[in-house]
């Protein structure tokens, strides 16, 4: 069997290289997920957390993106300015933070930044406000 694998590798080097690259990328992604200091929550899990815990909701979208509304009582600090304005969240350091953006990408970056700043109970809303709306959950338009 080892001879057949060697023969295949010699006859199909591009396939072997592509397989090795995909395997490496998969491993890298899994390690990245395993070492992140925050968890991602579905909208349903986020609602459950909000109902059972003292949660501070943080909207990291840009002001122009919030025209359609936001989750009730959310504090809005754009991800682009979070490192400069993290002091505004110091009083909430011992509380649970639920961070969201439009689709979930920027909230992950914001959660990493908050983790570096010493926030321990940080969650990212998986899918962002789009997933929240798809789940037909309420949005505050004020």
- The answer to whether the beta carbons of residues 110 and 122 sit under 8 Å apart is no
Q: What is the pLDDT of residue 39?
A: 83
Q: In a 3-state reduction of DSSP, which class is residue 81?
A: helix
Strand order in the sheet with 96-100: 39-41, 122-125, 96-100, 55-59, 75-76
Question: What is the average pLDDT value for the chain, to the nearest integer?
Answer: 91
70-94 residue pLDDT tens? 999 999 999 999 989 999 999 998 8
The answer to the question of residue 102 being in a domain is yes
Q: Angle at CA 53, nearest 5°, toward 49 and 54?
A: 120
8-34 residue pLDDT tens? 999 999 999 999 999 999 998 887 766
Tell me which of 55, 86, 101, 110 is the catalytic residue. 101
Number of structural domains the chain divides into: 2
DSSP state of 12: -
88-137 residue pLDDT tens? 999 998 899 999 999 989 999 999 899 888 898 999 999 999 999 999 99
Q: What percent of the chain has pLDDT over 90?
A: 69
The answer to the question of residue 49 being in a domain is yes
Q: What is the pLDDT of residue 68?
A: 87
Structure tokens at 57: 């909701």
User: What is the Cα–Cα distance from 42 to 100, expressed in whole angstroms?
Assistant: 11
101 is catalytic: yes
Same domain for 110 and 67?
yes
CATH at residue 42: 3.40.250.10
Helix count and strand count (H, E) for the chain: 6, 5
The answer to the question of residue 142 being in a domain is no
User: What is the Cα–Cα distance from 41 to 125, expressed in whole angstroms?
Assistant: 5
The answer to the question of residue 122 being in a domain is yes
Location of structure tokens 């295949």: 8
DSSP bridge partners of 96: 55
Same domain for 25 and 95?
no
60-71 residue pLDDT tens? 999 999 988 999
């Amino acid at each position: 069997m080892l001879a057949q694998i060697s023969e295949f590798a010699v006859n199909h080097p591009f396939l072997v290289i592509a397989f090795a690259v995909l395997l490496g990328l998969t491993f890298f992604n899994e390690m990245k997920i395993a070492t992140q200091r925050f968890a991602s929550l579905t909208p349903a899990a986020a609602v459950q957390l909000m109902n059972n815990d003292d949660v501070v909701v943080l909207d990291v979208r840009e002001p122009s993106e919030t025209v359609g509304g936001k989750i009730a009582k959310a504090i809005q600090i754009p991800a682009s300015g979070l490192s400069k304005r993290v002091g505004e969240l110091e009083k909430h350091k011992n509380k649970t933070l639920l961070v969201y953006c439009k689709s979930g990408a920027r909230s992950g970056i914001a959660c990493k930044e908050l983790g570096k700043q010493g926030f321990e109970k940080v969650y990212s809303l998986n899918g962002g406000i789009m997933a929240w709306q798809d789940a037909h959950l309420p949005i505050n338009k004020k």
